[in-house]
Amino acid sequence: MEKPVFRFAPSPNGYLHLGHALSALENERLAQQSAGNLLLRIDDIDLSRARPEFESAISEDLAWLGIEFDGAVRRQSDHISDYQYALDALKEEGLAYPAFMSRADIRDHVSAAEATGDAWPRDPDGAPHYPGVDRELDESERQLRIAAGAAYTWRLDMAAALSRISTPIDWLESGAGPNGETGQVMANPSLWGDAILARRDAPASYHLSVVVDDAIQGISDVVRGRDLFHATSIHRLLQELLGLPVPRYHHHRLLLDTDGRKLSKSRKDTSIRELKTAGLSPADVIRLIR
Ligand code: GLU
């Protein structure tokens, strides 16, 4: 059997907090259990939010916690052409289209539609599905708009994508979803509507970059927080469309704050740095999580 490969993939747009430490430790525990390798990936594809000082802080904090990684660190911003290649493949298949509606256009469209009484579908992150009014634009009209400098994002044509899939898609879950989903789990990519594939300031969306990276890095086991459970549905679809291998998935519990909300990077009180400055040892931090 090939050696399993795990990865911890933080985004350098804030300091690591206890939730990240839990995720890194879960990756380390499961990698050790299966004598696998653990890789570190810096998910900095969102160039507008990533900052180099957070990247160095991430490495320092992980080293302080005593978590060791194998092999070289992969930084997404060094591999833009890999994502471009995947996006081009989807465009050539007629599965990606330039979407010209701004956030405000989408909001207006959705409120007008909801004023008639029907709730507009939203994705698992709470964002309204893209109305897709420009999905059917003909090529010359698209080119005219782009030449005239119109802003746009690349979106997946979900209906076209689903029509290419002949058998239901699923994944093997060894953790659990929010409703206890485990074992062989059916993917439901339509939850995401016409998801964003790339933006001007982010050459690939999180969904597109993560499936490309996991394939290139030979990741056999994706271990991450339960907040990304539903994202796996669209990751599985993109893997099918791009002919990529399918890792096993393990979604672990989330650490909640005292109000029952997921910890976030904006909450300084649980950042590893802050706890270190307050005099806690790595062992104390690990005890807080376990
Ligand atoms: N970079 C993502 C985050 O920090 C995690 C990516 C993943 O584990 O799939 O939320």
pLDDT digit string, tens, across residues 82-119: 999 999 999 999 999 999 999 999 999 999 999 998 89
Q: Is 30 in the pocket of ligand 1 (CB under 6 A)?
A: no
- For β-strands 5-8 and 37-42, DSSP reports them as parallel
pLDDT of residue 201: 79
pTM to 2 decimal places: 0.95
* Mutate-to-test residue for ligand 1 from 6, 74, 206, highest number of ligand atoms within 8 A of CB: 206
The mean per-residue pLDDT over the stretch 172-196 comes to: 98
CA–centroid distance, 141 to ligand 1, in Å, is 36
Q: At what angle do helices 52-65 and 282-289 cross, to 10 degrees?
A: 90
- Lowest pLDDT segment from 83-97, 169-183, 211-225, 252-266: 252-266
The C-alpha atoms of residue 178 and residue 42 are separated, in whole angstroms, by 26
Q: Confirm if 58 and 42 have CB atoms less than 8 A apart.
A: yes
Nearest residue (by CA) to ligand 1, atom 9, is 210
Rg of the chain over CA atoms, in angstroms?
Answer: 20
Do 168 and 176 meet the contact criterion of CB atoms below 8 Å apart?
no
pLDDT attached to residue 163: 98
With 0-12 CB in 10 A as exposed, 13-18 as middle and 19+ as buried, what is 93?
Answer: middle
